[in-house]
Every structure is written in C-alpha cells, then in structure tokens.
Structure 1
Amino acid sequence: MRSVCEHDRDSVNVDRIKMTAPLPRLTAAQTAARLDVKPETVYAYVSRGLLHRERDAHGSTFDALEVEAFASGRRRVAARTPAHPTVGMPLGVVQTDVADIEDDELLYRGRRARDLIDRPFAEVVAWLWDAERLDAPDTAIGSARAVVDALPLHAGAMDRLRAALTGFAADDPLRHDTSAATLHRIGWTLLTGLPVALGGDPHPDLARSLVTAWAPGAPAPVIDAVNAALVLLIDHDLAVSTFAARVAASARADAYAAVGAALGAADSPLHISAATRTARLLTRVRRGMDPERALTEALQDGNGIPGFGHPLYRDIDDRADALFPLLGALPDGEGTMDAVARLRAVVSDRARLQPNIDLALAALVSGARLPDDAASTIFVLGRIAGWVAHIGAEYAEPAMRLRPRGEYVGP
C-alpha cells in the first residue's frame, strides 16, 4: 500500500488550485519576437483587427494562443519568390534520395515509413544503408561509457549523447577513412553501442536495448512503440541537423565528427530538444493542469506551441499519425492519450494546428513511464540512421561544394 505522500502522474496537485488565476499573456515585445516583426508592426495588426490586445497600466498584452494561431496562418501563406537569391527561405536546395514527403506521407526511398514500423529498426537500417550489421566492439563501448560516467549528475540526454560520441570516436583510430565500409561500420557502432553506453543491456533488438537503459523488463508494447518511433524518425526532408551533417561531410569530416555537427544543430529548442519540451508540457496536463493554462505558460519562451504544427504537412504529421495508435496499449497509455486529446482539442480550436512527432514522442515516454528526456534520446538514435545515409551521399559529391559564399552588406 502506498503512503499518503506518494502520487502518480494522474494525481491531483497544486496545479489544479491555480486554475482560477488569470492566464499568462504575452507582452508586445514577446508578441513581436514570436512573429519576427517589429513592435510597430504588431500594433499595425491590432489597428487592422488581425490581433486583439488588452491594455492596463503596464502596457498592451496579447492572448498567447491567438498569437500562435496568427503565426501559423502567416506560415501557411505561400512564400513569394525572393527578389535576390540570398534573401528568403530556403536559401538552397539539396537533392536527396533518402526521404520524401508526398501527399502528406513520409517515404523512405519510395516506401511508406509507416509500412516499415512493424520491422525491427536494425533491419530497416540495413535495408536503407545496404550494409550488414556490425555490433560495436566492447572496448569502444567501454570508452564511451567512461566518458558518460564522468559527467555531472545533472547532465541531460543531449550531454550524455555527445559524451558517448566522443568516447566512441576516441577509440577508433581508423575513423578518418571516408569509404562506405568505414562509414557503415561507424554507423553500426553508434546504433548498437549508444544504448549500452547510456546504461542499457546489449540485445539484438535495438529498441529493447535502449529501453533497458530506463526500464529493465518493460513490456512488449513499450518495445514495439519505441521500435516504431525509431523507424519513423530515421529521416525527414532536410532538417537543419541533417544539413549540418552534410556540410561537415562536404569538408570530409569523419563520420563521428559529422554526426557531432548534427548533434550540435539538433540540440536546439526548434529541433530535437522540442521533444523534451513537449514531454514536460504533457506531464503538466497529466498532473492536472488545465490544458489552456499549460499551453499559455509553455508559450512564454517564444518558441511556439510544443508538439503542434509542421510546415511540411497540411494536416497531422504523418509520423505522429502512425505512432499514436500504438500508445493506448502502454502501461499509462489510457491516461496519456486522454491528456493528448484534451491538448489537441484546445490547440485545434484556438490555434488551428495539428499534432507533430514531438507530441507523439512525448505521449510515448509518458505512457511508457520513461523520463521526459528519453524523447530526445529516441529521436537522436533513430535520426543517426538518416544522418549516416546523408553523410555517405555527401562523401560521393565534390568536396566543399556546400561551402557558401558570403555577401557583404556592412558599411
């Protein structure tokens, strides 16, 4: 029997008491930063009836969810062709044969990603790379684990991943060879070795190996959901981390260094770190906080609604749509999906946005009773498979082709 001081994720806490307090609002400066405009432009939107404000002795404030709905509406407007080739977004286009999104469906080399989630992650990677599996040497795992163990206790998931990567690289004197064979050996070293270096048990099933780092003896639905997530996260158009990996590979960095470049770009609030931010949002709702309050508080950092909206999809993110059906069977799946439904209802009504993969990952770690930052680790392990595929593709291109030219615009 539990003591009275114990609680679970669904227990009532002080957050419920705060529900009657006014919802936090954005200042004019925060609103301008979120919309990437000057404060004068925000007031122009107000005068045209596009945004509403409240005024008090401290100045104007704005409803955070209304601002997010306005921001998402502006993103859906087709971008005009820039008048100058170095103005606007995107600044460049890189051809790729790894992943594509057609009719709101994610494809890997022409095959639907969601059709592959029932296959072991390692099997999908072997097909994608056309390379047989080679498990990480024990000495390399030992080196990586030693570097991870030297970190302070407060180190986060991305810190541990970077540390392990450094350990693996330092143990590999042949890493500077850019042949396909060496690249794939390094890729397999990371995919099979990282779960163990981070505290998991060696296992042919990489999803199971990774999960044991947090939850030894996890039931089959947890393993199946993590495996599906790893497959769905392999690649996705040309994310900034993937481009960082290709830029490093263009300069003929070794595969560890190129993956390190990708990790640096990924560890940002608008990329993989958003998965952990979303997990914290979902945890608040599961613990009893009103979804609208949780969302408005999350929006105070100016990085948009975590877990919702993606510019590459007109509706729900295909990866989230494929993963959600697996989550109800998790140990805390029912409560988690109830919280997801409540969040979706508010965001759909107020901001007209649909879930993305970050919300599905947050629901996975919540329903599986894993730590919040497990979402980032799952994301990175899956994406390493895509980074390696792109590094190999860039090695086959002329060196330094991704070195851009600067255009001086100073005085």
Structure 2
Amino acid sequence: MDKKFLDMKQATAILGVKPQTLYAYVSRGLVRTASQAGRKASLYSREDVESVAMRSRKGTPELAVGDRSMRWGAGLILPTSISSIEANGPHYRGRNAVDLARASRTFEDIVELLWTGVLPVESPTWSPPTVPEAFPPFAAVLPAIAKLSNSRRLLALIAEAYTASAGKNPELSLGAPVLAARQLIQVLIPGIGLLRPKPRYELSLNAEMLAAKVARAAGISITSESVEAINICLVLSADNELSTSTFAARVAASAGADIFSCVNTALGAFEGLLTGLGCDQAELLLHRASSPKEYVAALNACIKRKEALPGYNHPLYPDVDHRAEFMLEAAVALNGKNPAVRAVVESVRAAGEELGARPSLAIGLVAMSTALGMPAHSPGVLMAIGRSAGWVAHAFEQRLGGYMVRPRARYVGPSFLTSEHS
C-alpha cells in the first residue's frame, strides 16, 4: 500500500472514531480518498487523517465554523469524483478518456458521464435550445465585432447575452439546471462560425449530434469522418481535473452563481498557455513556419527568451500526453496526404526529436483542425466547447459540496509599528 494512504482500520485507529465519523469527514471534504484496484473499499489520505487527528488532540475535533463552510490554506486540494489524472491520461469518472474517444463514444455520452456518473447505453439526442425573443437581435451584431476580439471573449459575450435574454432566473426559465446547461453548450457551438472568413452566427435548431453542429457552424462538410474527428476533439477536451478555468467555475459555484455565470467565469480564466491562449499560439507557430527546421528555430527562440513552449510539456503529463498522441494519429488517418497536415506532424516530430518537447492537447487540436480544414483559431474554441462539459460538471458537484472555496492569504508585505502618540 502507498504510504500516503491508509485503509479504514488504520484511519479510524489514528482518529479514534467509528467508521461513520470517518465517512462524515470524507463527505465534508476534510479527508480525501483514493480507490483501490479491484476492491470497493477506499483508501484515506494519511496527511488529511493526521491533520484532523491533530486538531482533535488540541481539543477541536470539529473545525471552526468558517473552516466548515470554506476551504482554507495554501495547500488547497478539493475532493472530486469527476476526473483524475493518471499515467495513461485523464479519466472521467474512472474511465480512460482516450479509450472513450477511441471507442467512438459521443460527446453527449461523455456529458452524461461527467454530469451524472452514468455512461448511457444509447447516446442521447438533445432537444434544440430555446431561443428567447431578445437573443437573436444581439446575436446578429456579433459578426460585426468578430475580428476585433479573441474567441474566448466572443464565447463569453454569447453566453452572457443568452443568459440575460432568458430572464432573471435563467436556469428555471429554461427548464432546469441540466436542461439549461445543455442549451448553453448548444448556444456556444455556433460561436465557431464567427471565425470564418465571413463571420456568421447561426444557431442550429436541428436535433443532431453536437459534433455535427460544430461542423455546420465551422462551414466544413458534414461527413461521418468529419463528425467523428470533431467528436474526438470534444471528448478529449471535456475535462482535465482542476485546471485554472475549472477551478474558477467551482469558485463561482461555491459562491452561489448560476450555471451560466460559472461557465462565463471559466471562460474568463481560459487564457493560459495550456488552454485557450496556448491553442492560439501553438497554431500560429505551427502554421507560420515554412519547414520543421524553421519551426524548431522558433521554439528555440522561445526557450532563449525563457518562455514556455506553446502546446508542449504539460506538467501533469511528464512523459507523454496520450490525448495529443491519439489526435495526431487521428489527423493523419483523416487527411494525412494534405501538405498542411504533413507539415504539422513533421514539425511536431522534429520538436520532439531535437528539443525533447512533448506535445499536449493544444497541439493535438491544431493537428485535427488542420486536417478538418477548419477556420483559424478553431482549436481554442473546440477546447472551450468541450471543456464546458467539465465546467458544468464541477459546478454541479461544488453545489452539492455546500461549502465556499475561499483560500487564505499569507501576508508578506511591510509591517509598520504604530503607537497611540505617533
């Protein structure tokens, strides 16, 4: 057994409590758990158990009122049953994400898995979204400003306009939280049409696969191959544990925000080199280089400036990001004879051989978007649409947790001595 974890007998012995009390600590997020391969019984974090035990020895077995309702401290770790990062990639509710994509499970299936914990036997078909009367006039303005801003801000505008158009209590006016979240994702999808040479926003009211809606909005052919490729992008983007944007969604949910505000908060944080901005910069470098040699030189320039390599070396995947590997293979299988696709694959291979750079999800999305012939900046939008499923899942889970996410700060500024006579 890993020394970082304890079984139930060891944990209850250290705490001096019954199993029911240990379960209560787990349910309140005071003690993290881990699953055991082939066994139903959970393991318990030694660090958390000893921390609770220390409080008990000091005469405070229960946390103070503020601590019970919030998560404090620099070592903030939130318990979740939604996803985990393993050596072979992210797992959604214990299922390997790459395996799910390889098995052609639809994005709708993955949404159900993330939101409910159940992988459906038959893929659900979502009802088309409700269109509030006030929304189309606003949506008609979006093409005029599409080229003035980045894709994340455009998606945030869409979400905010749709929410405002739905009334003061949008989750209820649109049916229920889950139905409202389904509609929001469908409203975000046409945002990819704002990236086309002639920007457009056209909300699809067809009852079709979400991947097909993405293809339609992007202006590419809707074939079984293109829909399958887009579906892979969405499935592998759906969640990656507590990324910055996902954490932001949970913070908003813990403060009582509705699902729409949680997603918009996440979009505001979707600007890192491993997320939206990283997709844009990875795409720019790959498509700007005229050869693998020139591409490696551009990456070397980043290294000399002590900048992170856009699209490479995700810290959670020190050896290989299996999502990127699978997507690069899928891009070649889809359109490997295309010169642009060959250039991307050869450049990524050269970066690995000469710099030891490990491609991450952003690189995989660039390869897939290139193979599909999608508009520039599509990789970041594909990731955001896919990740919206995870943002909603974490917001729902945070609501059930019933506590506010509020870390403490450690003051490191100057101190000034004062007196009554100064």
Superposition TM-score, scaled by structure 2 size: 0.69
- Amino acid paired to 1:114: V
Alignment match, 1:121? 107
Q: Per the alignment, in what secondary structure is the counterpart of residue 100 of structure 1? A: strand
Corresponding residue to 1:364 among 347, 368, 381: 368
Q: Per the alignment, in what secondary structure is the counterpart of residue 80 of structure 2? A: coil
Say if 2:215 is the partner of 1:211: yes
Say if 2:251 is the partner of 1:247: yes
Say if 2:225 is the partner of 1:232: no
Gaps of 5+ in 2: 1-46, 48-72, 119-123, 194-200, 415-422
For residue 365 of structure 1, report the CA deviation from its aligned partner. 1.4
Q: Per the alignment, in what secondary structure is the counterpart of residue 213 of structure 2? A: helix
Corresponding residue to 2:130 among 137, 148, 156: 137
For residue 298 of structure 1, report the CA deviation from its aligned partner. 5.0
Q: Judge conservation of contact 1:143–1:171 (CA < 8 Å) in 2.
A: no
Say if 2:385 is the partner of 1:381: yes
Say if 2:172 is the partner of 1:188: no
- State the identity as a percent: 28
- Bigger mean CA deviation after superposition, 348-357 or 179-188: 179-188
- Amino acid paired to 2:114: L
Change (3 A) 1:144 1:252: farther
Q: Judge conservation of contact 1:143–1:167 (CA < 8 Å) in 2.
A: no
Deviations 1:263-319 (A, max 9, x none): 111023443210111111111235787222232345577541112211111322121
Q: Distance in 2 between matches of 1:122 and 1:304?
A: 34
Q: Judge conservation of contact 1:135–1:188 (CA < 8 Å) in 2.
A: no
Q: Distance in 1 between matches of 2:109 and 2:285?
A: 33
For residue 404 of structure 1, report the CA deviation from its aligned partner. 2.0
Corresponding residue to 1:407 among 396, 407, 410: 410
- Amino acid paired to 1:121: F
Q: Distance in 1 between matches of 2:157 and 2:334?
A: 31
Q: Judge conservation of contact 2:220–2:374 (CA < 8 Å) in 1.
A: no
Alignment match, 1:91? 75
Specify the structure having the higher radius of gyration (Cα): 2
For residue 222 of structure 1, report the CA deviation from its aligned partner. 2.4
Deviations 1:114-155 (A, max 9, x none): 222212212321233239744311337626623524525333
Change (3 A) 1:185 1:286: farther
Q: Distance in 2 between matches of 1:342 and 1:357?
A: 17
Q: Judge conservation of contact 2:174–2:180 (CA < 8 Å) in 1.
A: no
Q: Distance in 1 between matches of 2:171 and 2:188?
A: 21
Change (3 A) 1:295 1:149: same
Deviations 1:3-41 (A, max 9, x none): xxxxxxxxxxxxxxxxxxxxxxxxxxxxxxxxxxxxxxx
Say if 2:167 is the partner of 1:167: no
Change (3 A) 1:232 1:147: same
Q: Judge conservation of contact 1:144–1:166 (CA < 8 Å) in 2.
A: no
Q: Judge conservation of contact 2:320–2:358 (CA < 8 Å) in 1.
A: yes
Q: Per the alignment, in what secondary structure is the counterpart of residue 158 of structure 2? A: helix
Q: Distance in 2 between matches of 1:351 and 1:331?
A: 27
Q: Judge conservation of contact 2:170–2:180 (CA < 8 Å) in 1.
A: no
Gaps of 5+ in 1: 1-80, 82-88
Superposition TM-score, scaled by structure 1 size: 0.70
Q: Distance in 1 between matches of 2:152 and 2:299?
A: 24
Deviations 1:337-374 (A, max 9, x none): 53244333433244323211111111111222212211
